[in-house]
Amino acid sequence: MTTPVGFVGLGHMGLPMAQNVLKAGYALHVFNRTAAKAEGLLAQGASWAPSPQVLAARTGLVLSIVADDDALHAVTLGEHGILAGLPPDGVHVDMSTVFPDTSKHLAQRYRERGAHFLAAPVSGRPEHAAAAQLLIYLAGPVAVRERCRPLLAALGQGVIVVGEEPHLAHVLKLVTNFMVFAVNETLSEAFTLADKAGLKSAPVLEMLQVLFPSLVFQVYAQRIAASDFYAPGFTVRLGLKDVGHMRQLADQVAAPLPLADLAYRHLLAALARGRGDLDATALVTVVREMAGLAPGTR
């Protein structure tokens, strides 16, 4: 397979995803703000592009995953952005987590230029990205979605088709992340209660394995029990961005979201204590301190 594919964003998630695109046999072209992060991919046969515009012009099909809305605007719009380089009928599939209005605006801009913007945010952490076990939420015109399915199959264990309007994929991703942070908050309080009452974490973990065997419960419980915050797959800082988005969406549609408000306050307190670059499970450190316990950090 020699189909050219562009990839923008080689962070904790993007790098293993790009590696899977390369492994699947696509002719991979990459761009990243920090060029050094591409060195391993280049050694494996990928090609470097000096800008998102050049990358899009070479390939006509671009994947991206970046940190936030500002970063997505930076790589899509402007003289050297993806949109400026895409040929007519070209496709940009963005896999970032951004506010729904951002993808709604970008989809309109792309339509005006005769190109296509698809939203395909993902659920999973870097280890799931490396194993091609991401869950992908896909939205955009049906014919364009079908063109991208073989490529997306190289990245995830499944695709949930959300509809034809790209912004709805980001609504689903925020709903998903609301559930994730509700679990994070619940586990943080549960482990803190157990510790304060003299119960060690091992039987709590055993109980969770029997009664709550879901992936989210297990991944977060293991990290919280081990105070494993120092190899972050998803940081406190990014968690604040996502919870901020879900609170903004809740305000926009008048849907009270008290659990998100609570998680936001605890994440913000973790950031204020200098823990913004720790894993988002470091939310528990604030809950522990509120209970008069040591935070569990180094």
Largest Cα–Cα distance in the chain?
65
Please give the model's pTM, rounded to 2 decimal places: 0.95
Let me know: does 261 contact 247? Beta carbons within 8 Å: yes
At the top level of CATH, the class of 171-290 is mainly alpha
Residue 241 appears among annotated catalytic residues = no
Let me know: does 137 contact 173? Beta carbons within 8 Å: yes
Q: What are the residue ranges spanned by the domains of the chain? A: 4-164, 171-290
Provide the CATH number for the domain formed by 4-164 in this structure: 3.40.50.720
Helix (H, G, I), strand (E, B) or coil at 227: coil
Let me know: does 24 contact 154? Beta carbons within 8 Å: yes
DSSP 95: -
Q: What's CA 206's distance to the chain center, in Å? A: 29
231 CB burial (10 A radius; 0-12, 13-18, 19+): exposed
Let me know: does 223 contact 229? Beta carbons within 8 Å: yes
pLDDT in tens, the chain (298 residues): 589 999 999 999 999 999 999 999 999 999 999 999 999 999 999 999 999 999 999 999 999 999 999 999 999 998 899 999 999 999 999 999 999 999 999 999 999 999 999 999 999 999 999 999 999 999 999 999 999 999 999 999 999 999 999 999 999 999 999 999 999 999 999 999 999 999 999 999 999 999 999 999 999 999 999 999 998 889 999 999 999 999 999 999 999 999 999 999 999 999 999 999 999 999 999 999 999 999 987 6
Catalytic residue among 23, 37, 104, 173: 173
